[in-house]
Chains A and B, each alone.
Chain A
Amino acid sequence: DSGVTQTPKHLITATGQRVTLRCSPRSGDLSVYWYQQSLDQGLQFLIQYYNGEERAKGNILERFSAQQFPDLHSELNLSSLELGDSALYFCASSSSGRIDEQFFGPGTRLTVL
């Protein structure tokens, strides 16, 4: 158990819908990262927050947005969902923002029908 929790574990929805994925980092970790792993791709970095502020942005679609709240939990919002958005979404946290100190959650599996 990494100490990072993600909810829900599974999510099934329809095209055009909007969903919110939630991540609670390890106690004390200030940095949160979001990754997407689709069927034919490796893990792709989406976005990083550090203590509530956006720190780095990767290949995140405009239909996706994220935020980190004062209690340090983070939410990833996916809207106007398409079939291709079906993937595993991982959250990771670290105390300092260093990449070699990231601890990953178990992921949320999103299925868009």
Chain B
Amino acid sequence: DQQVKQNSPSLSVQEGRISILNCDYTNSMFDYFLWYKKYPAEGPTFLISISSIKDKNEDGRFTVFLNKSAKHLSLHIVPSQPGDSAVYFCAASEGRNTPLVFGKGTRLSVIA
């Protein structure tokens, strides 16, 4: 039973436009959410996080939105750049010191 779901395996976006990656979760005990980015032949790298007391967190071109009632979060990348092409993983946990539960990832392709 998947507790964290990324329903879009892939997404293509033109350079300069907005990329929106979505993630749904089922466990209402999750209170901390993270996005990781992964390039081929490398490990995932932390991108941005949000705790359940917030509904938005911004870091440069990256913004994460959390809708707790819908158990849904999204990552917005504006403007998208070719270097953003990677696999993005959504992850969640029940606290900052508890194990992460990952989604299966969404492959983002930013086309120049």
A contact residues vs B (CB 8 Å cutoff): 2, 4, 33, 35, 40-45, 48, 56, 58, 90, 92, 97-107
Contacts and interface: CB of A to CB of B under 8 A. Distances in A.
Nearest to B95: A99
Contacts, number: 61
Nearest to B96: A98
B34 A43 contact: no
B98 interface: yes
A101 B101 CA distance: 15
B6 to A, nearest CB: 8
Nearest to B93: A99
Most buried by A among B97, B99, B102: B99
Interface in B74-100: 89, 91, 93, 96-100
B42 A99 contact: no
Contacts of A101: 46
B104 interface: yes
Interface residues of B, number: 24
Given A2-B45, A42-B89, A99 B102 contact: no
B27 to A, nearest CB: 14
A104 B89 CA distance: 13
A104 B47 CA distance: 12
Contacts of B49: 100
A2 B43 contact: yes
18 contacts: A33-B99, A40-B104, A41-B104, A42-B102, A42-B104, A42-B105, A43-B91, A45-B100, A45-B102, A90-B43, A90-B44, A98-B97, A99-B32, A99-B96, A100-B32, A100-B49, A103-B46, A104-B45
